[in-house]
Chain A
Amino acid sequence: MLWHIPLRNLFRNRRRTLLGLAIIALGTAMVYAVLGYVDFTMYNIRLGTVKQYGNFQIASPLLWDEKTEKFAYLIQPDTLAKVEQILSKEPGVVAYTKQLNFSGLATTPNKTKVVRATALEPNNRALDYNDLVVTDDKEHKEWNVGKGLDPADQGKVLIGRTLAKELQLKPGDFFSVTATTVDGAYNVGPLRVAGVFRLNNEVAEGQLIFVPIAYGKTLMNTEGVAKIIVKVNNLDDSVRVASSVQEKLRAAGLELEIRTWEQLAEFYRQIKGFFGALFGFLMLSVSVLVFFIVMQVLTLAFLERTREVGTIRAIGTKRSQVFSMFFMESVMLGVFGSFTGLVLGWLLGQGFNALGIGWTPPGAIAPVPVRLSLTLGNAWLPFIVSAIATLLSSLYPVTRTARITIVDALRTA
């Protein structure tokens, strides 16, 4: 009803209002910036994770349950043909590729190590590790002549940096790999190092090797594959396409189960949980800070007007009307402050993005850009959070103001 009074009261003590606005705005800007950072980073991690796992993978439930003994999980050629038939007709699917995995012993004349091999189709369009090959190592320049795998070269392998160091191997060197065939016999094959790769993970760099799938099949004496990795045209479509394909697999009577990238990537789920907790904690801290400071600011501002409140109450203003007037003022403060915070956060964030800061996480190939994703979608949460913190902080001072004793209030100076 009486809009002009709260609005004018809001700007009556400029210094105090500015302090309140500044606290709310800084809180909002901070939450906005951090949310922008988390959003941008998570997006990149999602892209990276999908690059590593594909959008989803198809395999026997036995493989997912890690019941790998006797190789019953292997997908045999007739089943594989049916799956490929389904995938080639599925609209969202861009590409797919097959993998076979086995453990074995890598042996050089003076050392032996347990390795886990991924046998893959070189140069497929779904999931390829050739871009991980090191060509610019400062310490081990001998690695830099390495190349990715090629469908043509059968007996070549990519090894991780740790393994390369431990076995003292470089591109062009040979070693032998011993594995069990599906029938339980030992089989040994020679491998020539095509290149050395890096991952974000030192343990994996010491264990993983990549070989062409044909080599893996020969070594394991099987025609089967372990899983089919599928790439979808749009990251956000992963789950939808996956369930559509799962439906068709079931209809075709195939005992195969799909896992999406998010189900597969424990790392992603952990980091998502971590960022979620971090962001939640930040939001809580900012809210608490805004809550207490704004409460202090409002309490003082309202206390100054005790006699005015006594006056308007004496001439017939109801408690509820005093409440609305002062609450309205707090709403305006909250909305102004939060909005200012978004503008501030946006401007500072743009400035930060313009600096083009990047950092190279341990093991990464290229520096990862550090950016803030300053979208409208990321704006509403910080806005709501600090506006609500402001409103909550106003409840006590506003209620107290509405409940003053008129005669006492009139007596104050």
Chain B
Amino acid sequence: MILETQRLSKVYSVGQEKIPALRGVDFHASAGDFIVINGPSGSGKSTFLNLIACVDRHSEGEVLIEGQATSKLSENQLAELRKRKIGLVFQSFNLIPVLSAYENVEYPLLLLGVNSSERQRRVMGLLEEVGIKDLAKRRPDELSGGQRQRVAIARSLVTEPKLVLADEPTANLDSETGKQVMSIMRRLNEDHKVAFLVVTHDPVVTQYAERTVKIRDGQLTEENSHVVAYSAA
């Protein structure tokens, strides 16, 4: 079990008002899973993802990453955990504009203090896997949306995490590019034995799921587990 949540709740306070965005969610993911959480806008997808990514604090319950409870960790310990164990892919790519594609992918390795030859090996390897090796020197503003998301996917995998979390990774892409990005993620999931958890409201993305979970009003309901022919897409 690389990820587990127990009775996970999140209540936002806006002035006097309390907004329950997540209501006691029990969830788990195993190594190598490819899970899609599907739900309409406002259903609590981002809230859930932020909590398991340890970038936000939950109100009640617990998040366990590789068996380790996170509630009581300090700000720095959480940063350490995110850096080593979790990869993140965002809806709007979130690359660092002053860095080239290569440097963006390299960035987490600098945080980890990996030596330069090892950095080069890993970064070039991943850029090749996501098919943009030739664009390594380009800055984000010289890349298309699909290319940027490939860079972001490479960045999320470069530290060799066991879990990658993606929040609506195709929402800013046209459907064709979205499908390409999803196939890349699915392939990397197979090749690297890394678990992917993708939240989306896009039904197309769901086709790539190995396991689909529905979210509505901050509550999860498990759908059937099925394997799709992602390679056909």
- With A317-B111, A407-B56 given, name 6 new contacts (CB 8 A): A2-B110, A311-B96, A315-B82, A315-B156, A317-B79, A318-B75
B111 touches A12 (CB 8 A): no
A315 touches B88 (CB 8 A): yes
Residues of chain A contacted by B108 (CB below 8 angstroms)? 315-316
Residue of A nearest to B94 (CB): A311
12 pairs, A vs B, C-beta closer than 8 Å: A5-B98, A9-B98, A12-B98, A308-B96, A312-B96, A313-B55, A315-B88, A315-B107, A316-B83, A318-B79, A318-B80, A406-B56
Tell which of A4, A5, A312, A315 has the most Cβ of chain B within 10 Å: A315
Residues of chain B contacted by A16 (CB below 8 angstroms)? none
Interface residues of A in 294-315 (CB under 8 A from B): 307-308, 311-315
Pick the contact of A406: B55, B110, B156, B159 (CB < 8 A): B55
Does A144 count as interface, using CB distance less than 8 angstroms? no
Residue of B nearest to A409 (CB): B55
Does B53 count as interface, using CB distance less than 8 angstroms? yes
Residue of B nearest to A405 (CB): B56
Main secondary structure of the interface of B (DSSP, over half): helix
Does B214 count as interface, using CB distance less than 8 angstroms? no
B53 touches A321 (CB 8 A): no
User: How far does the Cβ of B22 sit from chain A's closest Cβ, in whole Å?
Assistant: 13
Interface residues of B in 85-112 (CB under 8 A from A): 87-88, 90, 94, 96-99, 103, 107-108, 110-111
Main secondary structure of the interface of A (DSSP, over half): helix
A8 touches B98 (CB 8 A): yes
Does B84 count as interface, using CB distance less than 8 angstroms? yes
Residues of chain A contacted by B56 (CB below 8 angstroms)? 406-407
Does B59 count as interface, using CB distance less than 8 angstroms? no
Interface residues of B in 50-87 (CB under 8 A from A): 50, 53, 55-56, 75-76, 79-80, 82-84, 87
Does B122 count as interface, using CB distance less than 8 angstroms? no
Does A46 count as interface, using CB distance less than 8 angstroms? no
Pick the contact of B97: A2, A308, A313, A318 (CB < 8 A): A308
Residue of B nearest to A322 (CB): B79
Pick the contact of A314: B75, B88, B97 (CB < 8 A): B88
Q: Total interface residues on B, using CB and 8 Å? A: 27
Residue of B nearest to A307 (CB): B94
> Which 7 residue pairs spanning A and B have beta carbons closest together?
A316-B83, A8-B98, A311-B94, A406-B55, A316-B82, A407-B56, A318-B79
Does B211 count as interface, using CB distance less than 8 angstroms? no
Interface residues of B in 17-57 (CB under 8 A from A): 50, 53, 55-56
A410 touches B98 (CB 8 A): no
Kindly state the separation between the CA atoms of A316 and B55 in the bound complex, as whole angstroms.
9
Residues of chain B contacted by A320 (CB below 8 angstroms)? 76
**CB contact under 8 A between A315 and B83, given known A1-B110, A407-B56, A410-B90:** yes
Does B162 count as interface, using CB distance less than 8 angstroms? no
**CB contact under 8 A between A410 and B111, given known A12-B97, A307-B94:** no
A407 touches B80 (CB 8 A): no
Does A217 count as interface, using CB distance less than 8 angstroms? no
Tell which of A8, A12, A307 has the most Cβ of chain B within 10 Å: A8
**CB contact under 8 A between A314 and B55, given known A1-B110, A407-B50, A410-B90:** yes
Residues of chain B contacted by A51 (CB below 8 angstroms)? none
Residue of B nearest to A1 (CB): B110
A314 touches B53 (CB 8 A): yes
B76 touches A318 (CB 8 A): yes
User: How far does the Cβ of B112 sit from chain A's closest Cβ, in whole Å?
Assistant: 8
Tell which of B99, B107, B159 has the most Cβ of chain A within 10 Å: B107
Residues of chain A contacted by B98 (CB below 8 angstroms)? 5, 8-9, 12
Residues of chain B contacted by A4 (CB below 8 angstroms)? 99, 103
Does A319 count as interface, using CB distance less than 8 angstroms? yes
User: How far does the Cβ of B49 sit from chain A's closest Cβ, in whole Å?
Assistant: 10
